[in-house]
Amino acid sequence: MSEPQVAPAAPQTPGFRMIRSLGAIAMLSGLLVVLVFQYTKPIIAENQRVAIEKAVFTVVPGASQRIDIMLGENGVTVSGEDEDEDAGEKVYAAFDDQGNLKGVALASGAQGYQDIVKLLYGYDPECACIRGIKILKMTETPGLGDKIAFDPAFLKNFEALDAGLNGAGDALAHPIVAVKAGKKQNAWEVDAISGATISSVAVAKALERSMQRMAPLIQRYKQELSRVGQ
Amino acid sequence: MATLPNREEKLSLDTFVRGLWEENPVFVMLLGMCPVLAVTNSTMNAIAMGLATTFVLVASSTLISILRSWIPRQVRIASYIVIIATFVTVVDYAIQAISLDLYNALGAFIQLIVANCVILGRAEAYASKQRLHTTLINSLGMGAGFTLALLSLGTVREVLGSGTLLGIQVMPENFEPWVVMILPPGGFFVLGAWLLLFAWLKQRRERRLLEQEGASNAG
Amino acid sequence: MQGESLGFIFLNAAVVNNFVLALFLGICPFLGVSAKKETAWNMGLATLFVMLVSSMSAYGINWLLGELDLMFLRLICYIAVIASAVQLVEMFVKKFSPSLFRSLGIFLPLITTNCAILGLALFQTAKEYDFIQSVVYALGAGAGFTLALMLMAGLREKLELAEVPSVSQGAAMSLMLAGLLSLAFMGFAGLGGSHG
């Protein structure tokens, strides 16, 4: 290995030495990163699986098994290593111990007060209604907007939120909307938290957006979905 | 590369302790403040961030110190950055593997450790010039000082802003938390308050030294 | 992200989630360069330019690494591109405006460690913005950064002439000011209205 030059003025290092040093460091770094990545990949995947499962079982009461599904216009495909873009959107079909379909969990999001609110919700095809929600990520105002995550009165909105289809079966019969606190009259309305209207509206919007697109599909392919669990 | 080092330091306790108080990266050198303000809304986050940053600081400083004679001067900054980014990536995956909840709480700021001026600054000013063992000890001290700074904000903000410490309720039940403390302005205010306190202590000590000098001159 | 209009993205980045006052990015230059309005303005513009270049490059890198399945190299690539972008801007400024180059001094290369730039790249990737959205996001972030810097500079210039307690001079006072600015900016939350 050549000795480094010691000189008072800026040494004229040949370009080759610079490239060689940078190249060596880049290779070393790359190697280290790849090693760590490979080692942690299975652990991280497991962590994520556990986290998703916990959330899915929260929003679909009575479920104990979960199968990832791609649901699209063309039907149901079990989610595997190769995800075909046209297969549709990822949903989590949840089954009980006997393999009966208890519901489908889906993710959605909408702009809240500060930033996007991401949530997971459970849809029961039998009653054509939403059974529960779980806020996955939000940056709403602590003490006000963040109540959407745990306020019992607010969460009660989602124990049997009507998401029935219209006659043609291609859209919701009634759009899911948020109404002012205490003004809820119909099963498809969400009672907003007083003082946290925007955050509550975000939740309703996220559900509405997702359901308009997915509820018809889930109903259409209900049989296939049930069969996956058998 | 290896220009003559400014002054090769001899290992001593001071090498470590300096980073805690005298040359505290946050309070004295005013470096690396972005994470100090951002992730200190709870004590747990502060500790995690401190440990992660210390790891990257120590690992990269040590490696740079080992390689210092082989890195040509012209590409030294680029090399330091690549090395630092590598260790940050390592920490990023490590935290994801350890606890997804913690990872989500710290968010982008784990990857932002790369842009933390403390690490690059120490690499340039110290690790590239000093020997391995002094660099190791010094960076440990700097990391500890940084973690101390994070803790000083994290504890205050969590106690006043949520009434809890490490998730355990410490304030009385009827305490109405000062929500502003866990919001962005709170970060600025608390850090400013700490700096105010240190400046005041420093001023008092200087005044006392002056008085003592005056007394000994007169006497 | 579907449903986000360009105007909203701009406002969000510039004001509602201002990079300095809400997201705590770019604090070092914020405190270091905001003493005088002119330096603040120049720094803001230089940062905006670097943000634009980095944003576009980050978009490209993200796509490329995705194709090659090398996602774990993303962070290293981002910071390398940012460092190069800063070098580029440095050469550019030195050539076309030597006086500007001198006035910015050491702060120009320090843009590399400005967490706002890396943060921009990381956030735009997380939000899965397309190319146009990313550019608008960068414009908004740079504008917001410059705005925060200018506000701070204006306040600090005034404070130079005021009588403040000696213990609070310097960083402590700047931080308190920043806190007040941050508090004020919180009032912008919800700007852009409901949409999408």
User: Which pLDDT tens digit goes with each residue over C147-182?
Assistant: 999 998 998 888 888 877 777 777 888 888 889 998
Asked if the C-beta of A10 comes within 8 angstroms of chain B's C-beta atoms, the answer is yes
Cβ within 8 Å, pair C168-B199: yes
Cβ within 8 Å, pair A142-B179: yes
B41 lies in a domain?
yes
> Cα distance from A191 to chain C (closest Cα, Å)?
18
Q: Quick: pLDDT tens for B121-176.
A: 888 888 878 888 888 988 999 999 999 999 999 999 988 888 888 878 888 877 88
B165 lies in a domain?
yes
Alpha helices in C97-170 (DSSP H): 98-104, 115-126, 131-160
Distances (CA, A) of A12 to A3, A116, C131: 14, 53, 41
What's the start-to-end Cα distance of chain B, in Å? 55
C145 lies in a domain?
yes
- Which amino acid is located at A149 in the chain? A
* Chain C residue numbers touching A141 (CB-CB < 8 A): 189
The structure tokens 């910071």 sit at C79
- For C17, the closest of A30, A115, A141 (CB atoms) is A115
**pLDDT for the residue C3:** 56
Cβ within 8 Å, pair C194-A201: yes
The whole-number average pLDDT for the span A46-56 is: 89
- For C17, the closest of A30, A114, A141 (CB atoms) is A114
Cβ within 8 Å, pair A111-C189: no
The partner residues of A65 in beta bridges, in order of sequence, read: A95
The structure tokens 């690059």 sit at B120
Indicate which of B41, B67, B75 best probes the interface with A, i.e. most A CBs within 10 Å of its own CB: B75
Q: Quick: pLDDT tens for C24-53.
A: 888 878 887 777 888 888 888 889 989 999
Indicate which of B96, B103, B183 best probes the interface with A, i.e. most A CBs within 10 Å of its own CB: B96
C4 lies in a domain?
no
Minimal-distance CA residue of chain B relative to C181 = B185
Cβ within 8 Å, pair C167-B116: no
Q: Residue A52's CB: how many other CB atoms inside 10 A? A: 17
Which chains does C contact via 3+ CB–CB distances below 8 A? Answer: A, B
**pLDDT for the residue C1:** 43
Is the separation of the CB atoms in B181 and B190 below 8 Å? yes
Cβ within 8 Å, pair A113-C190: yes
Cβ within 8 Å, pair B79-A21: yes
* Chain B residue numbers touching C167 (CB-CB < 8 A): 196, 199-200, 203
- For B89, the closest of C26, C76, C112 (CB atoms) is C76
Minimal-distance CA residue of chain C relative to B36 = C24
- Range scoring the smallest mean pLDDT among B1-15, B30-44, C84-98, C130-144: B1-15
B145 lies in a domain?
yes
C127 lies in a domain?
yes
DSSP state of C143: H
Sign of CA dihedral C29, B185, C55, C135: negative
Query: DSSP readout, B108-173?
Result: GGTGGGGG-HHHHHHIIIIITTS-HHHHHHHHHHHHHHHHHHHHHHHHHHHHHHHSEETTEE-S-T
Cβ within 8 Å, pair B83-A137: no
Query: What's the longest Cα–Cα distance across chain B?
Result: 66
- For A114, the closest of C189, C195, C196 (CB atoms) is C189
* Structural domain range at position B84: 13-170+178-207
C55 lies in a domain?
yes
- For B88, the closest of C75, C112, C186 (CB atoms) is C75
Minimal-distance CA residue of chain B relative to C18 = B184
Three-state DSSP class for residue A65: strand
- For A33, the closest of C4, C17, C73 (CB atoms) is C73
**pLDDT for the residue C134:** 92
Residues 6+ apart with CB under 8 A from C93: C46, C100, C101, C104, C108
Residues 6+ apart with CB under 8 A from A103: A59, A60, A61, A63, A94, A122, A123, A124, A125, A131
Cβ within 8 Å, pair B179-A44: no
Asked if the C-beta of C83 comes within 8 angstroms of chain B's C-beta atoms, the answer is yes
B148 lies in a domain?
yes
Interface size between A and C, measured as CB pairs under 8 A: 28
- For B78, the closest of A10, A22, A143 (CB atoms) is A22
Q: What is the pTM of this model?
A: 0.82
**pLDDT for the residue B6:** 57
Is the separation of the CB atoms in A225 and A125 below 8 Å? yes
**pLDDT for the residue C79:** 87
Asked if the C-beta of B85 comes within 8 angstroms of chain C's C-beta atoms, the answer is yes
C7 lies in a domain?
no
C152 lies in a domain?
yes
Bigger pLDDT: C69 vs C35: C69
Number of domains in chain B: 1
> Cα distance from A100 to chain C (closest Cα, Å)?
34
**pLDDT for the residue B61:** 92
B134 lies in a domain?
yes
Q: Quick: pLDDT tens for B81-136.
A: 889 999 999 999 999 999 888 888 887 788 888 888 888 888 888 887 888 888 89
The whole-number average pLDDT for the span B8-19 is: 80
Number of domains in chain C: 1
B8 lies in a domain?
no
Cβ within 8 Å, pair B30-C118: no
B154 lies in a domain?
yes
* Structural domain range at position C173: 19-186
**pLDDT for the residue C7:** 87
Counting other chains too, the contacts that B69-72 makes at CB distance below 8 Å and 24 or more residues apart are: B69/A4, B69/B1, B69/B2, B70/A1, B70/A4, B70/A21, B70/B1, B71/A21, B71/A25, B71/B1, B71/B128, B72/A13, B72/A17, B72/A18, B72/A21, B72/B1
